[in-house]
Amino acid sequence: MAGPYAHITLLHGLMNALHDESRQHVSEEVISAVRDHFHFCVLGAVSPDFPSLATDGSGSPWADAMHYIRSGEMIVCGVRHVAQASAETQPRLLAWLLGYCAHVVTDVTIHPVVRARVGDYAENQRRHRLCEMNQDAHIFARMNRGELRDSNRFARDIVACCQPGSAACLDRDVAFLWDRLLREVHPALYNSTPPLIREWFDRFCDMATTQAGQGGKLFPLAALISAGIQRDYPRREHIDQGFVESLATPSGGLMHYDAIFDKAAEHVCELWNVVGRGVVSGDRDHLSRFGNWDLDTGLDERGQLVFWGHGYKIVAVV
């Protein structure tokens, strides 16, 4: 999978480049939502991985649901509800939804390459984790902000999503939207195993606070990955370049991870515009671009690669 640092670093890159004319047009509403409520966008970008914060394993069905089942419907349903939100709440709800969309699109772009490098996730989970840890360390280094393990900036962005006046309670409007989408898209699972969104968020904040108090700054979701395979994230000089350079792609060529990452960013930018127009202008004509994709394989419901097909082209929505 794409790791948590990849998902968040991609947002930082897009935030810096949204006004770059070399990138395709993104609506002002999208730019404003991301700029003014960036921390909610960051939360959305790691939300599908938040169930792993459950201490008793109860979050696993929800992690699977958000990665494998009706992934596109989550976004389409989100567009419908955010479009109906009040003027006061809509910008931050849109920011969260854009982050969630970015997670989906990034996974669907990058995971086929990871799969080609280390095999199917189900049979090669440790190799997948090692791959994403090395790729995370590499892509974080592009930001020139020191070592990945020495920065807690990303965690602070998530903690900033608290309800005003609360030290650890998730913003109620974002929590309500997230819960509502899970209830509508996954009704059977919701009834049997209600998602504990606020508890997941509470644990994130607790881990971030505890680690900071002990001198640790690793992003909590990354800390779980590291502990799960009992390996530290590599420092820059120890990154395994076999996970970064000359990666085989589904299109048949070899690409550096930087180019694959940038390809994911272009796809995110493209589909952010679809989401933005659906929310702000009521233009739902292009929402069919979202399919119920498998985030581990990058395949659609027909078993076809979403972003690596020979005929795929980025289409600007204007």
Give the dihedral sign, CA 97/288/20/281.
negative
Angle of CA points 176, 14, 167, to nearest 5°: 40
Question: What DSSP assignment string belongs to 122-148?
Answer: TT-HHHHHHHHHHHHHHHHHTT-SS-G
For 53-79, what is each residue's pLDDT tens digit?
998 889 999 999 999 999 999 999 999
In 183-222, which positions are buried (b, 16+ CB within 10 angstroms) versus exposed (e)? ebbbeebbeeeebbbbbbbebbbebbeebeeeeebbbbbb
For 143-174, what is each residue's pLDDT tens digit?
887 777 767 889 999 999 998 877 678 999 99
Neighbours of 163 (CB within 10 A): 15
Question: 246 is written with which tokens?
Answer: 């000359």
Q: How many residues appear in the chain?
A: 318
Question: 11 is written with which tokens?
Answer: 């947002």
Q: Would you write out the chain's pLDDT as a tens digit for each of its 318 residues? A: 689 999 999 999 998 887 665 455 678 889 999 999 999 999 999 999 999 999 888 999 999 999 999 999 999 999 999 999 999 999 999 999 999 999 999 999 999 999 999 998 888 999 999 999 999 999 999 888 777 776 788 999 999 999 887 767 899 999 999 999 999 999 999 999 999 999 999 999 999 988 655 556 789 999 999 999 999 999 999 999 999 999 999 988 999 999 999 999 999 999 999 999 999 988 888 899 999 999 999 999 999 999 997 544 444 343
Phi-psi region of 99 (alpha: psi -120 to 50; beta: other; left: phi over 0): alpha
Is the Cβ–Cβ distance between 198 and 190 less than 8 Å?
Answer: no
Is the Cβ–Cβ distance between 52 and 257 less than 8 Å?
Answer: no
Q: What predicted TM-score, i.e. pTM, was given to this entire model?
A: 0.94
Is the Cβ–Cβ distance between 295 and 106 less than 8 Å?
Answer: no
Alpha-carbon distance values, 222 to 131, 151, 178 (Å): 13, 12, 22
Question: Any bridge partners for residue 247, and if so which?
Answer: 255
307 contact partners, CB below 8 Å, separation of at least 6: 105, 108, 109, 263, 267, 298
For 236-249, what is each residue's pLDDT tens digit?
999 999 999 999 99
